Structure 1
Amino acid sequence: MDKRLNYRLITGKDDAGFCERVSSLIDEGYRLYGSPSVRYNGKDVIVAQAVVLPEKRHEKVSP
């Protein structure tokens, strides 16, 4: 993916791979958004975590 999205929802089985994916996005500048959602599907614990890029601040130019 060439363009970084401002918002992403990461989902998956609650394991080291999921944590690595979220950690990698944090290293790229994303920030956690809200609390994770956790659900049990009868076999595995499935988690979802939203991440966002910080807002781009526009400097005001004085006239």
Structure 2
Amino acid sequence: MKLYRFLTGPDDATFCHKVTAALNKGWHLFGSPTYGFDQASNAMRCGQAVVKDVEGQEYTADTKLSDW
């Protein structure tokens, strides 16, 4: 199965750690990162899509992406 996630977070080290953790679990960057201002929190936010291929598994709507 091919999995897709869009990681988001504040523009600080926690976002970088989130992406780094995904990369260390076998996820791969997909496309360019995004960056925008969140008026509700009055802060900059980051986003990055990641993908992963998992052999021998079938995707269902119940698949918990963070488990992979």
Global fold match (TM > 0.5)? yes
Q: Within the alignment, does 1:21 sit opposite 2:18 as a pair?
A: yes
Greater fraction of residues in strand: 2
CA contact (8 A) 1:31 1:54 kept: no
Looking at CA atoms only, which structure, 1 or 2, has the larger radius of gyration?
1
Query: What is the aligned partner in structure 1 of residue 8 from structure 2?
Result: 11
Name the CA distance, whole Å, in 1 between partners of 2:38 and 2:22. Answer: 25
Secondary structure in 2 aligned to 1:29? coil
How many pairs were matched up? 52
Query: What is the aligned partner in structure 2 of residue 39 from structure 1?
Result: 36
Name the CA distance, whole Å, in 2 between partners of 1:53 and 1:23. Answer: 14
Output the aligned Cα RMSD: 1.8
Q: TM-score, normalised by structure 2?
A: 0.67
* Larger CA deviation: 37-46 vs 23-32: 37-46
Gaps of 5+ in 1: 57-63
Flag as ranges the 4+ runs of structure 1 deviating above 6 A.
none
